[in-house]
């Protein structure tokens, strides 16, 4: 019997990465568009979310309910898993971690919950580290520890074209959004200890990409790294940024992925978002 890993679609894991780890279960988060509920990765994808945002429709997300998580854990254990490690979006950004902890009660220590304190591939990297450890035969404690260690080795930054979607999501006030738009302020956000904070403000997309690259380089230091560049409707910018980073890190770059961001982040940040998530592997 082996340990299996559960995460959710906030992890923004690409199909190739999911396919490479058969012991990894990804649950689609609920996405509400104009009052209709969808499941991310199941009946709506990034293009659908992007289209809704551009049309000005209301897009919100919610965490996974405890009963769904409990049923998933039970099914996996019934199918022969020796334990389950459940890795999710920062508990300071979503209720999924709390729901997972509630769902884990009653399984007599066979389910361990890990708060990634992050978003996007900041969730995906810990989930993948756990999956790799599980594939090597590690026990529940060691699989959870592999995820937790990766949490401390992962950094995340996002550039935004506009403050409007942060205003819609209640992350900033309407007054700040209006002033920022008038001044052409484009924020760079970082995730620190599970919270989203404004790191700095720039005036142009070009400057924003330059600062993202500089922040990623500074955080990586001399380590070998895996990187993911996320975007929402900004593929050309994402490709430009990933190309520069690949050239800069050269043989220190173990893997580079370019993917659309998940709905939970995209709904609050909007089209034009570009982010870079770095995992130090050494």
Domain end (from 98, 124, 151)? 151
Q: Token digits for 194?
A: 């599970």
Is 171 found in the same domain as 90? no
Is 212 found in the same domain as 135? no
Residue 184 lies in a domain: yes
Residue 44 lies in a domain: no
Residue 43 lies in a domain: no
Is 96 found in the same domain as 133? yes
**CB-based burial, 50-81: b 16+ in 10 Å, e otherwise:** bebbeeeeebbbebbebeebbebbeebbeeeb
Q: Write down the pLDDT at residue 169.
A: 56
Is 209 found in the same domain as 100? no
Is 160 found in the same domain as 143? no
Is 147 found in the same domain as 160? no
- pLDDT over 60 at 177, yes or no: no
Which CATH number covers residue 90? 3.40.50.10170
* Number of domains the chain contains: 2
Residue 59 lies in a domain: no
How do residues 193-239 score in pLDDT, each as one tens digit?
Answer: 998 888 888 989 999 999 999 999 999 999 999 999 999 999 999 99
Q: Which domain holds residue 113?
A: 3-29+64-151
Is 145 found in the same domain as 9? yes
How do residues 90-114 score in pLDDT, each as one tens digit?
Answer: 999 889 999 999 999 989 999 999 9
Residue 46 lies in a domain: no
Is 161 found in the same domain as 146? no
Is 179 found in the same domain as 140? no
Report the distance separating Cα 26 and Cα 9, nearest Å. 6
Residue 41 lies in a domain: no
Residue 48 lies in a domain: no
Q: Write down the pLDDT at residue 217.
A: 96
The secondary structure element, H or E, covering residue 126 is helix 121-135
Q: Write down the pLDDT at residue 175.
A: 38
What is the torsional sign of CA 55, 201, 229, 195? negative
What is the gyration radius of the CA atoms in the chain, in angstroms? Answer: 18
Domain end (from 134, 151, 168)? 151
Which CATH number covers residue 244? 3.30.1180.10
Report the distance separating Cα 87 and Cα 210, nearest Å. 31
Residue 255 lies in a domain: yes
Specify the pTM: 0.93
Is 82 found in the same domain as 176? no
**Between 60 and 149, whose confidence is greater?**
149
Q: Write down the pLDDT at residue 156.
A: 96
Domain end (from 151, 168, 197)? 151
**CB-based burial, 21-34: b 16+ in 10 Å, e otherwise:** bebbbbbbbbbebe
């Amino acid at each position: 019997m082996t340990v299996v890993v559960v995460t959710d679609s906030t992890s923004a894991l690409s199909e190739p990465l999911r396919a490479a780890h058969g012991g990894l279960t990804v649950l689609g988060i609920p996405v509400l568009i104009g009052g209709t509920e969808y499941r991310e990765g199941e009946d709506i994808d990034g293009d659908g979310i992007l289209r809704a945002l551009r049309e000005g429709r209301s897009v919100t997300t919610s965490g996974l309910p405890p009963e769904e998580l409990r049923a998933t854990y039970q099914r996996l254990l019934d199918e022969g898993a020796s334990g389950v490690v459940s890795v999710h979006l920062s508990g300071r950004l979503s209720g999924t971690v709390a729901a997972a902890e509630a769902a884990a009660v009653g399984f007599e220590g066979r389910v361990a919950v890990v708060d990634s304190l992050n978003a996007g591939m900041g969730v995906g990297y810990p989930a993948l580290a756990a999956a790799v450890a599980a594939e090597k035969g590690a026990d529940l404690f060691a699989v959870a520890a592999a995820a937790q260690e990766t949490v401390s080795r992962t950094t995340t930054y996002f550039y935004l074209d506009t403050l409007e979607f942060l205003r819609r999501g209640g992350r900033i006030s309407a007054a700040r959004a209006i002033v920022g738009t008038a001044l052409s302020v484009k924020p760079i956000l970082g995730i620190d200890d599970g919270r989203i904070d404004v790191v700095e403000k720039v005036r142009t997309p070009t400057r924003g990409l330059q600062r993202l690259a500089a922040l990623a380089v500074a955080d990586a230091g001399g380590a070998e790294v895996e990187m993911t560049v996320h975007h929402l409707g900004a593929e050309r910018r994402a490709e430009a940024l990933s190309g520069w980073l690949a050239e800069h890190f050269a043989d220190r770059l173990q893997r580079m992925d370019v993917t659309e961001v998940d709905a939970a982040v995209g709904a609050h940040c909007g089209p034009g978002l570009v982010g870079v998530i770095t995992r130090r592997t050494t």
